[in-house]
Structure formats: C-alpha cells, structure tokens
C-alpha cells in the first residue's frame, strides 16, 4: 500500500522556549543552518517514508530517540504529521541535565508521551561497586560493558514486541555510518528505518531553525554528538563530527554497541543495532 503524500501541517506556537533562528543568533543555528539545493525534496521524502512505515507497522513502531538534533527533527516531523509512531528514549542514568530537559519539552510542545527505559538498578549498582563510577576510562572492555547495561539492555525492552523502529542515523556522521541505508531488515526480522540517512548537518539545522524545533543546549557548546556526560566533550575546529565521543579511544572503537550487529542468539527483544548514540 502506498503512503499518501502531503505537505507538513504547522503546529501552534511552542510554549517551550527554543533557540532563536534569526541571522544574528549565536550558537549551532548560526553556525550550521543553511538552505541547500534539494532540501524541500529531502524533507518530503522523509515524511513519505515515515508515513509508509507507520502504515506498514500499525501500533508496532517506535522512534528510538537519542534526543540529539537529528532525532528532534524526526520527532517534529512525526508530531506535525500526526503519525502513530511511539517515541522512546534511554534514560541511562548518566545523561546531561540539558539532555534530560528535552523530555518534558517534547511532551509539552507536541503532546507526546515519551517512553523512558532505564537500566536495571541492581546491575548498575553491581557494576559501579565493582569497577567504579568512571570505569569507562579504564578500558574499552569496561566502557562497552557500561554501555551494555545502560543502553543495550534498555533498548532491548523498548523494541521487544515491536516490528519496526526509526533512528536518526545519517551517512555524514562518521565513516562507520557512511553506507547507512534508508531502510534495512535486521537478522531478527525487525525493520529499521533511517529516514535522515541522506540529510546533511546543514539540513538538520535549517529544519530546526525553520520550524523552531527545541534542541539540546549543549549543541551550542560545540557538541554535535551527545551521549552520556562522562563520554562526551566539545570538539575543536577541524575535528570530526563524533570526535567528542569516547575521545580517549581508538577511532575504530567509537560505537557503544547499539550500532553493531549482535548475535542472533542474544536475549529476546534485543535489537541487532540501535538508536543513534
């Protein structure tokens, strides 16, 4: 069945303050927001794919949002079009206050309930007692073990029983993501949609500026990719998009496991890949 196409509808003015979109504005909008050729077509194609995904997986699809700029764009598109796509996020226990502030902002702005998935408390307590609060700095193995508890396990519960999910992955984000498809079928049969795969960073911020989309204030502090607080820093001029993530590690190790294929024998409900980290 083909999804209908239509232009975006406009929501009422947001009661949640968003960053100014004027040419004189400072921060991420001033730095990155640029209209480029084909922008409107990319927006429409993304909306069409989201509509089709919702039609194909009624009541069984979720946007797994990292609350980053890309995912805020997707949430805005979903809300504007009134699509029956749930919105969920991982409350890892180590997120910045600025990131957490977006949860009530989404609920107030769009009238959407954000599903929250936290790691099992007993696993976190055991891990911290054994390895310390900042075990991620000790070795890649411990950092990935922390990600397993705080991200992978909760994501498995978010996706359990669902046929499809939506992420904000883009090909431009890193070399590892350079071949991200718009749609893929995972080993367990779940469909993963990456409708922003061919968007640029300029596209993301032009959309945010145009539609007054709330975004993480840390983006204004030169943090294009934001994860847990201990694992995120600002980047310098000339550094790659994800240079501020796990900066003490080798470049090839810079994934939390959410975007790395998992064995098919993994616990029920665990995805083979996951939300933009």
Catalytic residues: 256
Cα distances from 230 to residues 83, 147, 243, in angstroms, run: 35, 12, 14
| The 183-185 sheet, strands edge to edge | 114-117, 86-90, 61-65, 164-166, 191-193, 183-185
Question: Which letter, b or e, does each residue of 164-180 get, where b requires 16 or more Cβ atoms within 10 Å of its Cβ?
Answer: bbbbbbbbbbbeebeeb
d(CA 238, CA 169): 21
d(CA 168, CA 197): 8
Token pair for residue 177?
A: 């993501």
Do 90 and 275 touch, CB atoms closer than 8 A? Answer: yes
d(CA 70, CA 67): 8
DSSP 164-213: EEE----GGG-GGGTT--SEEE-TTS-EEE-TTTT--HHHHHHHHHHHT-
d(CA 145, CA 150): 9
């Amino acid at each position: 069945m083909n999804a209908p196409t239509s232009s975006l509808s406009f929501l009422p003015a947001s009661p949640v303050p968003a960053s100014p979109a004027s040419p004189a504005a400072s921060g991420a909008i001033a730095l990155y927001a640029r209209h480029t050729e084909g922008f409107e077509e990319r927006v429409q194609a993304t909306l069409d794919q989201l509509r089709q995904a919702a039609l194909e997986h009624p009541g069984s699809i979720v946007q797994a949002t990292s609350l980053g700029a890309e995912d805020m764009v997707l949430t805005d598109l979903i809300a504007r079009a009134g699509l029956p796509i749930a919105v969920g996020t991982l409350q890892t226990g180590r997120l910045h206050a600025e990131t957490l502030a977006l949860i009530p902002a989404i609920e107030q702005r769009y009238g959407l309930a954000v599903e929250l998935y936290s790691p099992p408390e007993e696993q976190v307590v055991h891990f911290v007692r054994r390895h310390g609060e900042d075990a991620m700095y000790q070795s890649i193995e411990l950092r990935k073990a922390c990600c397993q508890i705080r991200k992978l396990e909760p994501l498995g519960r978010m996706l359990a029983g669902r046929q499809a999910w939506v992420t904000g992955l883009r090909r431009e984000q890193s070399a590892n993501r350079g071949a991200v498809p718009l749609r893929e079928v995972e080993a367990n049969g779940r469909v993963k949609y990456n409708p922003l795969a061919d968007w640029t960073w300029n596209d993301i911020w032009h959309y945010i500026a145009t539609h007054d989309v709330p975004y993480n204030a840390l983006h204004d502090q030169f943090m294009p990719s934001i994860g847990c607080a201990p694992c995120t820093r600002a980047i310098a001029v000339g550094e790659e998009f994800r240079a501020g993530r796990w900066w003490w590690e080798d470049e090839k190790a810079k994934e939390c496991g959410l975007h790395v294929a998992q064995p098919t024998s993994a616990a029920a409900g665990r995805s083979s890949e996951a939300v933009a980290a």
